[in-house]
Amino acid sequence: MNKKQAKERIKELREQVEYYAKKYYDDDKPEISDFEYDMLMVELRNLENDYPEFKTTDSLTQKVGGHVKEGFEKVTHEVPLQSLQDVFSIEEVEEYVNKIEQKAEENEIENRKYVVETKIDGLSAALEYKEGKFIRGATRGNGLVGEDITQNLKTIKTIPMELKEKIDITVRGEVFISKQDFEKMNQEREENEEELFANARNAAAGSLRQLDSKITEKRPLDIYIFNVQKIDGKEFNSHFEELEYLAKLGFNVNPVRIECSTIEEIEKAIQKIGDEREKLTFGIDGAVVKVDDLKFREILGTTAKTPRWAIAYKYPPEKKETILKDIVCQVGRTGVITPMAILEPVKVAGSTISRTTLHNEDFIKEKGLKIGDTVVIQKAGDVIPEIVEVKEKKRKGEEKEFQMPQQCPVCGAPTAREEGEAAIRCTGIECPAKLFRNLVHFVSREAMNIDGLGENIIGQLLDKELIKNIADIYSLSFEDIASLKKNGTKFAQNLVDSINKSKENDLYRLITGLGIRNVGVKVSKILARKYKTIENIMKATSEELAMIDDIGPIVANNIQEFFLQEQTQDLIEKLKKSGVNTKSLEEEVEDTRFEGKVFVLTGSLEKFTRGEASNIIEKFGGKTSSTVSKKTDYVIAGEEAGSKLTKAQSLRVTILSEDEFLKMIK
């Protein structure tokens, strides 16, 4: 590589690591593995060392990668929170220790000990105490300036609010989420069709950097303290002595700390941590080798980014080959069908892997996966197993293509994939796998509005098998409901009254509650107003439905296919037998004064709710829209109307006050 090529490659690498560092440190959404990022940094560092004329102070090899997130107060660290120099081989560890030993001889250092600790995979934080009381906490940020996250840190139960001694001290620790809690969090997110956390580190970082501490409080965060940053009135000779003192003060100190005197002992400690990492309750991404003598540390000093008295040995990600025996599909609570790989069991990074998610149809196609393939497994973030490669050269010709099911594997209803979505869903209204979510939606405020029937109560009813489908809500007895709570008589009566009241709802609420794809309150009202009864809607063809304003071909097809299903027809019959109203209650109004007119509501209305104003407009044949355009006829503007009012003025749309609107409807 010549000088020109080196300059171009350094520029390219800096852009890459800046981008990936931002995704990792600032957005808490990594796009590549830690190992891939580390290798880019190694290449950049080596090139800068070979061509020092291109080395600059703004390179990430010379500074910490994080930034202060908008919304947090800035905290200037009295003692910088530096990062560690990474090494990736035992040879590099030996080279480092030999240099330290040489320095120790030159300076006649008697304490030639080291401490090897686990490098916890989390988010670094500094905790400040005055007279033993916790007063402030901050993230590392860029090492010099971090974010004030005091309120969020107060939600972590293992952080003492008051120490056992009245002392002024600043300590550094690593906030993390345990492996068990992380897996539980991701399992819940998968069931709720939320984006999975890439690894425990990003889950912890994202949780700790929430602007709302109530969200942080719900996350299972923990912390291990691993360093004294600053202390008044006390002196220590060694790092190990510091850690023992921190534990006495009441801190949750890094539990893995091994004293070593020779390179052989250091290598054994690194090996021991590597061998036992799977037994640890928390995730690690390496082992840290630290000089124990604190005065010697002062002699060794630091660079702008890293201390010279410590290094981090990074364990390489372990990959193993195995056979993709089969692909099976699971149905989530909201109906999303997820393909799962069934693997020939293989041990990776200390744990046996026999299955892993394949995410969706697109992932299978991108990887070119076939049943029977030899595949390479890696544990992403040292927690989630994933297929990273297919060994196509090992194919024998007996491998089988996989197709996502056209019928739900649980209930047999048709599956569907909406345009622009990766997920394939079950469309069955009575599918047992998605019953919980269907029930939650059916009773919600915008649908059947059954007050008192929340997620917790629905969960209990399902657990006790008191309901097995939506219609069973209307068969619940007073005794069934009262059994859910101690002294539940009043609660039961209120809920029974609410259930009975919901039977009298307008047809549009029932249609909304059925949860037809892309059919919300607005379309439900249009259907109820036009067809008057549920039976008429069930007979409507997709061609007929598509002719209605605000109902396009996709939605029309969704409606027709939904009502053609046996599950839907069965549910409608059950609801009718239970006394649920299936007719429109809206009175016929011949007055169509707003026919063809489009209204937009903006600002805070005093004389109507948004829903009430919309109903009045629709009652007189008009339409409401959420956006202002050239097709808008009127904008009803309340207090604090914002950009919509400005746009309406620029387009010369007629703007109405509430009083002017009242005159129009009288």
From the candidates 22, 74, 99, 119, give the one annotated as an active-site residue.
Answer: 119
Residue type, 15: E
555 phi and psi angles, rounded to 5 deg: -65, -40
Q: How far is CA 115 from the centre of its chain?
A: 36
Dihedral of CA atoms 137, 141, 146, 149 in degrees, nearest 10, equals -40
Number of H helices, E strands in the chain: 24, 22
Select from 48, 22, 20 the least CA-distant residue to 32.
Answer: 20
Give the chain's largest Cα–Cα span.
101
Buried b / exposed e over 528-539, threshold 16 CB at 10 Å, is bbebbebebbbe
Q: How far apart are CA 630 and CA 607, in angstroms?
A: 27
DSSP, residue by residue, 78-144: SS-----EEE-SHHHHHHHHHHHHHHHHHTT-S---EEEEEEESSEEEEEEEETTEEEEEEE-TTSS
Rg (CA), the chain: 32
Among 175, 222, 226, 219, which residue's Cα sits nearest to residue 201? Answer: 175
Q: Please report where in the chains the tokens 């009262």 appear, as a residue.
A: 482
Is-contact 113 293, C-beta < 8 A?
yes
SS3 192: coil
DSSP 488-511: -HHHHHHHHHHHHHHTT--HHHHH
119 is catalytic: yes
SS3 state at 516:
coil
3-class secondary-structure state, position 348: strand
Are the beta carbons of 370 and 273 closer than 8 angstroms?
A: no
- Measured distance CA(428)–CA(514) in Å, rounded: 10
Own/partner pairs for 556-562, CB < 8 Å, 24+ apart?
Answer: 558/416, 558/516, 558/517, 558/518, 558/519, 559/516, 559/519, 559/527, 561/414, 561/416, 561/427, 562/427, 562/429, 562/514, 562/516, 562/517
Those residues with Cβ within 8 angstroms of residue 144's Cβ, 6 or more apart along the chain or in another chain: 76, 77, 80
DSSP state, residue 420:
T
CB under 8 Å to 123, separation ≥6 — which residues? 139, 140, 174, 175, 176, 201, 204, 205, 208, 209
Taking each helix axis from N to C end, the angle separating 200-208 and 179-191, rounded to the nearest 10 degrees, works out to: 80
Note whether 85 and 313 are within 8 A (CB).
no
Amino acid identity of residue 622, one-letter, is G
Q: Both tokens of residue 557?
A: 């097809």
* Owner of token pair 């799962």: 340
Q: How far is it, in rounded angstroms, from Cα 313 to Cα 234?
A: 31
Contact 60, 14 (CB under 8 A): yes
Catalytic residues: 119
